[in-house]
Structure 1
Amino acid sequence: MFERAKPLWAAAAVVLAMPLLSLPAAAAASELRVISWNICGEAGGQRGDAGYCPYRNEPDKKVEQIAGLVSRHQANVVLLQEVCGIASDSHLELLKAALGPDWSFARADGARPDGRVDCRGSLSGNLGLGIAVKSRITGTTVTQTLPSDTTGKSKQTLPTLCVRTANWAGTRICTTHVLADPADPRRPQQIRNIKTAVSAGGLDVVLGGDFNLFPGSTDLRPLSGAYEECDSSGAKPNEATHHAWSNGKHVYRKRDHIFATKAGTGRRFTACDADQSLMDRTANEPDSGPPNGYSDHAPLIGYLPGA
């Protein structure tokens, strides 16, 4: 865990503990410092709408926060979900400019249920997953791990994106996004498909993403049983990474995870934390005022030695 402030309490709801992160030293050559964040990059629109997400039409503000996280943690891996790419003013292209030439990028489209991949609102580019690594990418794999909808009603795709790199040649670095609907019968098979995709070839695995599944979930066991999860132990395990406003109440859940290949009987992760200061925790009513975060998700940050 990183150093953080004590939790605050409010009458209407628990105000989650805000991280007070001390600046780390530079990463060792083999060390992986991983940020995984669903930035809700093109989610819907106005205050009070069910799909509201802060700063939807201001990608530069989200990118500024991602770059700030990289700087504070001296991170060398960034895994992003619900991110726009390709277009010159998209999140990923802006992030390329912010991080500089030492970084390499990979991306994969993820279609909405209507089959469209274009980012909505005033945004441009395509929606999907993104990986940035402070290394040279030597291989990229995109696997469509969401089973087809047998009813024919949905054209949604949710891929798993993996890269191999020059600096960590023995590790496959991956990100994914799992179906949000708990009633969708495809979720268990999607998790099994993700496990197959990331474990191919017997390499070490680092996998982060928005899994839309909570700690202890039976559906998550193919991954949680096979790999170490960075926030599964410690002084504050399983911190909330998602805030929702439902029926006039705040709802906090852990939906985001970073997994890694286990290392014998010891812990592989040396630190892990959810930076809840970047998660919007305000009520979502038409008159709620400005947000106090940049996504409905908090970024999850994990440190681990390389393979």
Structure 2
Amino acid sequence: MLRTKPLWAVAAGLLALPLLTTPAAAAPEPLRVISWNICGEAGGDRGEAGYCPYRNEPGKKVRQIAGLVAEHQANVVLLQEVCGVASDSHLELLKAALGSDWSFARADGARPDGRVDCRGSLSGNLGLGIAVKSQITDTKVTQTLPPDPTGKSKQTLPTLCVRTASWADTRICTTHVLADPADPRRPQQVKNIRTAVSAGGLDVVLGGDFNLFPGSAELKPLSGTYEECDAGGAKRNEVTHHAWTNGKHVYRKRDHIFAAKAGTSRRFTACDADQSLMDTTANTSDSGRPSGYSDHAPLIGYLPAKS
């Protein structure tokens, strides 16, 4: 006769089994951010004021971006003056270089004539680009440059922001501020950028070419609200831009990465400007090969995961 275990024995056996638990969700990684104005839009020959190295060779610039990502194990890339849309543009080539773990967003930025096409031998549209090693869940483009009161310029300089699955409580943004220091719209543009990135009370990571120097009163709406990655420490306010004026080198810091204000849990743990990628050769017709890949140096900032 088949005998069965009493109910109390079955229950005791079940209690002895290991409990099945749901695996904990992976903690978000620290943010390792690269911001770089790659001067990627074609125009300007050696010796001319608008010259920028390798402007008509997008593949060379993309290889440098991908190399930076590998070197720093970066998971956020913020690009200015970059071409996108076309299959041979910077952003499309970068997609292929970084692989399927990365998501991309972009926004057009029109020149003063209103055109957004990348000139010279390039194709695609000029503007901003963001690449993140995560899934983008939301993208927002805000035209933060006020209209030209004279009606002569049709230039647009947007602020591009994304939210991601990996860092859901953080808005990741990039922007580009007017270069002309005499343009009266610059102060309002900076205020508009702050409004665009701070909406909703999320944490913010904002990088870009601000064309404003450390300590500038025009930059105060951002520098007074957020922490800057190289505002202190041994590498304070490193140079990120090189130009020639009256035959002389001019080195300045124009590029910045901002994030949550100092005193919060998101303080920068490291910041560096990679000046080896910034061209510092003389800009004459017989200067030879450039020493870098842009007139700007990429800026790299590390932020811990939010605690």
TM-score (norm 2): 0.90
| 1:131 counterpart residue number | 130
1:29 offset after TM fit, Å? 3.7
1:43 offset after TM fit, Å? 4.5
CA distance in 1, matches of 2:225, 2:73: 28
Matches within 5 A, 1:92-111: 92-111=91-110
1:287 offset after TM fit, Å? 1.1
| 2:290 counterpart residue number | 291
| 2:277 counterpart residue number | 278
Matched, 1:171 2:170: yes
Contact map agreement 1:160 1:197 (CA 8 A) in 2: yes
CA distance in 1, matches of 2:212, 2:153: 21
Structure 2 residues not aligned, in runs of 5+: 1-26
1:39-85 C-alpha deviation (Å, 9 max, x unpaired): 00014221100000000110000000000000000000000000000
Structure 1 runs (4+) deviating above 3 angstroms are none
Structure 1 residues not aligned, in runs of 5+: 1-27
Amino acid in structure 1 at the alignment position of 2:240: T
| Aligned partner of residue 239 in structure 2, secondary structure | coil
| 2:242 counterpart residue number | 243
1:236 offset after TM fit, Å? 1.9
Amino acid in structure 1 at the alignment position of 2:50: G
| 1:155 counterpart residue number | 154
Contact map agreement 1:109 1:126 (CA 8 A) in 2: yes
Matched, 1:72 2:71: yes
| 1:18 counterpart residue number | none
Amino acid in structure 1 at the alignment position of 2:44: G
CA distance in 2, matches of 1:30, 1:280: 33
Contact map agreement 2:259 2:266 (CA 8 A) in 1: no
1:214 offset after TM fit, Å? 0.0
CA distance in 2, matches of 1:236, 1:303: 14
1:302 offset after TM fit, Å? 0.3
| 1:229 counterpart residue number | 228
Amino acid in structure 2 at the alignment position of 1:150: P
The structure in which a higher percent of residues are helix is: 2
| 2:82 counterpart residue number | 83
Identity of aligned residues (%): 86
| Aligned partner of residue 67 in structure 1, secondary structure | helix
1:99-135 C-alpha deviation (Å, 9 max, x unpaired): 0000000000000000000001100000000000000
Contact map agreement 1:82 1:127 (CA 8 A) in 2: yes
TM-score (norm 1): 0.90
Distance 1:253 1:263, change over 3 A: closer
Contact map agreement 1:43 1:51 (CA 8 A) in 2: no
CA distance in 2, matches of 1:278, 1:162: 26
| 1:22 counterpart residue number | none
CA distance in 2, matches of 1:82, 1:296: 12
Number of aligned residues: 280
